[in-house]
Amino acid sequence: MAQRYGGKYSPNGTSSQSDNPSSSGAYKGATVDPVGARSNVLFVPPIVLAFTSINDGAVGLGLGLAGAGALLLGAWLLRGGLSAEAAYNARKVARRPAFPRKIAAALLAGVGVGIAAFSNEPGVIAPLIYGAAAAVLHVGAFGIDPMRDKGMEGVDTFQQDRVARAVDEAEEHLAAMRDAITRSGDRSMIARVERFQSTAKDLFRTVEDDPRDLASARKYLSVYLMGARDATIKFADVYARTNDPKARDDYEALLDDLEKNFSARTRKMLLDDRSDLTVEIDVLRDRLQREGVRIDREMK
């Protein structure tokens, strides 16, 4: 669908985005999709192998399809492994992936190449060499999965699991908002929703860093985001049909209110964490003084 260009210097453009200081963070937290062309190109070899095996007889066709299936499954697992690794790297506190999809993808690539080699050169040595080479090259190109938990020292795993479930649910609400606002066809509102999502994710990361904040942030992760998701779906449906400027202004005002509330909650939790740190420092200083340790330099 064609979209009208919008901006400060367009016929119906406004300077609100450039005049609004908060709009400078529209692309804050933007990341590159971890599933790129390098992984997508791995879907080509299984297709080629399947088609080239059609005229190789029943045995050759069976081997070709088996090899293509292994390669296809490996390419699909690789996509999931790359996404899981990106989510792991984006968080300060994270558990290693439950299933090592990238390693499994490398093994399946080796199996698929080995089967393809066996169909052309029956034996043991050649398929093993080709399969091992493919697996090693796969690991060299894409690496392996994270194998250790990150930032989990001294963290209550039960609380961390609760936070993970709450954040995953909140991420689903944000994804539904992103899908819905895309239907509206308004690029400025799409960018506005992305900025709100960046603010919401700041709150997510703060809760993940300190699971004790979950109680105070739960309504933001569930009730508020669920309401924002529903409002976004309704706005996208109405605006796509009518281009009603009043509906657009009302929805933008709702996003402004939500963003202010989420930012205020994030700042409050950070201040509470700072206060807890100050209390711990004071308690430690008092203990040291009782032990006869003189502190000449104030800790800040």
**Model pLDDT for residues 55-77, shown as the tens digit of each residue:** 888 888 999 999 999 999 999 99
Q: What percent of the chain has pLDDT over 90?
A: 26
Alpha helices in the chain (DSSP H): 16-19, 37-40, 44-52, 57-90, 101-120, 125-142, 157-184, 187-209, 214-219, 225-242, 245-290
Alpha helices in 91-156 (DSSP H): 101-120, 125-142
Residue 34, pLDDT score: 74
211 versus 42: which is more confidently predicted?
42
In this prediction, residue 242 has a pLDDT band, given cuts at 50, 70 and 90, of: confident
The domain spans of the chain are 37-142, 156-290
Residues 299, 235 contacting (CB under 8 angstroms): no
User: Cα dist. 122→48, 63, 68, 140, 180 in Å?
Assistant: 20, 11, 17, 27, 53
Q: What is the spatial distance between Cα 280 and Cα 297, in angstroms, rounded to a whole number?
A: 17
Both tokens assigned to 187: 């690029």
Both tokens assigned to 47: 């297709």
Both tokens assigned to 300: 């800040």
Residue 272, pLDDT score: 65
Q: What is the spatial distance between Cα 189 and Cα 238, in angstroms, rounded to a whole number?
A: 14
Q: Is the pTM of this model over 0.85?
A: no
Residue 26, pLDDT score: 47
